[in-house]
Amino acid sequence: MKIALGCDHGGYLLKEEVKNYLSQKGILFEDFGCHSTESCDYPDMAEAPCAAVISGSCDFALLFCGTGIGISIAANKHKGIRAACCSDCFSARATRLHNNANVLCMGGRVVGPGLAIQMVEEFLAADFEGGRHQRRVDKLTALEQ
């Protein structure tokens, strides 16, 4: 498994915490930036991680901005991306199980590092259930056409 990471300035510190966790667990990742708290635009910062997921060079992406909302909206503009902005473990797990999300977005001003790590664990451990959920995911995919 390989994870794409991306953030704007508002999510930088939280991304760094999650990056440290991934390193400690031996989970491969590629950090597409940003690399400081200097102001930058979340639509720009979502582009490369989403491209990595779409191309298959990364399995999932973890994206961070101040609230998680802006970067999730930007991510969802990319065909093939199903990004979910979450701030609790139940939603982080359920979005994989039911929505087959391939991007988890979090807010650096909303979620603390401990919770963020728990959410990442839940997201990465869950597998899409398919079944009745597949029909709904297929309808989401059809909206991209």
Residue 73 belongs to domain with CATH number: 3.40.1400.10
Q: Are strands 60-65 and 103-107 parallel, antiparallel or unpaired?
A: parallel
The parent domain of residue 30 ranges over 2-143
Q: Report the run of H or E that residue 98 belongs to, with start and end.
A: helix 89-99
The mean per-residue pLDDT over the stretch 15-42 comes to: 98
Report, as residue numbers or ranges, the catalytic residues: 65, 98
Structure tokens at 29: 């990742």
Percentage above 70 pLDDT, the chain: 100
Number of domains comprising the chain: 1
The mean per-residue pLDDT over the stretch 114-143 comes to: 96
Q: Give residue 145's pLDDT band: very low, low, confident or very high (50, 70, 90).
A: confident
